[in-house]
């Protein structure tokens, strides 16, 4: 059950139209076609190879599958991967 504090915080964020990904440090995943994925607010790369990437986040792990993956940018809490993407799956809370 959510506490009054959490419900009040949610209400303030909603009323002020603040971005939830920023306020709660949630992962933000931007997909451009099937060739580029940008993950913001990640908590680290768990595994990486040419066919899969597993990334840790506040809400669990994110598994990306496909082929010919390359990391085109990594900095701070932002990761950009290029390749041919087949699926992106949230694996649940860690």
Report pTM: 0.74
Number of compact structural domains in the chain: 1
pLDDT at 20 over 80: no
Q: What is the mean pLDDT of residues 11-39?
A: 77
For residue 7, the SS3 value is: helix
- Higher-pLDDT residue of 19 and 67 is 67
Q: What is the CATH number of the domain that holds 31?
A: 2.60.40.2000
Q: Is there a domain that residue 20 lies in?
A: no
The pair of three-digit structure tokens given for residue 71, joined into one six-digit string: 């990391």
Which domain, by its residues, includes 51? Answer: 25-90
* pLDDT of amino acid 14: 75
Question: DSSP secondary-structure letter at 77?
Answer: T
Q: How confident is the model at residue 22 (pLDDT cuts 50, 70, 90)?
A: low
Q: Which residues contact 76 (CB under 8 A, 6 or more apart)?
A: none
């Amino acid at each position: 059950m959510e506490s009054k504090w959490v419900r009040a915080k949610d209400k303030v964020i909603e009323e002020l139209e603040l971005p939830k990904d920023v306020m709660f440090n949630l992962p933000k995943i931007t997909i451009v076609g099937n060739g580029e994925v940008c993950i913001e607010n990640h908590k680290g790369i768990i595994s990486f190879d040419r066919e899969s990437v597993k990334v840790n986040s506040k809400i669990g792990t994110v598994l990306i599958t496909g082929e010919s993956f390359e990391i085109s940018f990594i900095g701070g809490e932002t990761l950009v991967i290029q390749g041919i993407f087949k699926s992106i799956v949230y694996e649940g809370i860690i």
